[in-house]
Amino acid sequence: AQRVTQPEKLLSVFKGAPVELKCNYSYSGSPELFWYVQYSRQRLQLLLRHISRESIKGFTADLNKGETSFHLKKPFAQEEDSAMYYCALKRGQAGTALIFGKGTTLSVSS
Amino acid sequence: DAGVTQSPTHLIKTRGQQVTLRCSPKSGHDTVSWYQQALGQGPQFIFQYYEEEERQRGNFPDRFSGHQFPNYSSELNVNALLLGDSALYLCASSLRTGTWDTEAFFGQGTRLTVV
């Protein structure tokens, strides 16, 4: 079965500190992995897609197939990064659903 | 482009009633997916519509049904509402391009409360 696990419900850091939001998945095939973000009172939006290998707002994520992980990292957190972050998995073909983790709330304080 | 729009934004229904939620996809998108997000949980996939047919379904009972219209807009219907159906219902749209999908864009959601 496909499953996404985000072990931390809440991560609190100080501004300027490094951030790592953990995501582990279970899927036997070749998945697509995503990070979605939801800022306060805004809609869910795509932050990163592993196949694009981009860095968005200073965030990066590397797919580790050996450890079945897709952790989200940022070297220096900003207060505007405070939001809910969801890791999601999708089978690597058209017309398949996104499977979401339960989400991690990131709180960045000064 | 208004992006994905959902209506209504909030809804209160009584147990046993029926409800219809609506979604207009982002311009140029042809695929609509519906998700249920209970409080404190991540979105859970309900079903997906493409070319006016249900193409994939998650682990939801037959009380949940849908429809896609020729203009790609979609409806989610829930019959015989239960208290446990109270949740945020999200619509996402994307474009199917052969063997892969473009980025999924989400609407603001409809908050359904069953009393």
Q: Give the pLDDT confidence score for residue B97 in this predicted structure.
A: 85
Indicate the range of A2-6, B35-39, B45-49, B94-98 predicted with least confidence: B94-98
Show the tokens assigned to A67.
Answer: 């450890």
Q: Select the residue of A49, A86, A93 nearest B42 (Cβ to Cβ).
A: A86
Q: Do A94 and B58 touch (CB under 8 A)?
A: no
Beta-bridged to residue A107, according to DSSP, are: A12
Q: Which residues contact B45 (CB under 8 A, 6 or more apart)?
A: A97, A98, A99, B33, B34, B35, B56, B58
Which of A86, A94, A99 lies at the smallest CB-CB distance from B98? A94
Q: What are the residue ranges spanned by the domains of chain B? A: 5-114
Q: Is the pLDDT of residue B101 over 90?
A: no
Fold of B5-114: Immunoglobulin-like (2.60.40)
Tell me the pLDDT of chain A averaged across its residues.
92
**CATH code for the domain defined by A3-109:** 2.60.40.10
A99 pLDDT band (50/70/90 cuts)?
very high
Give percent of chain A above pLDDT 90: 71
pLDDT at res. B35: 98
pLDDT of residue B32: 96
> Which residues of chain B make contact with A4, given a CB cutoff of 8 A?
42
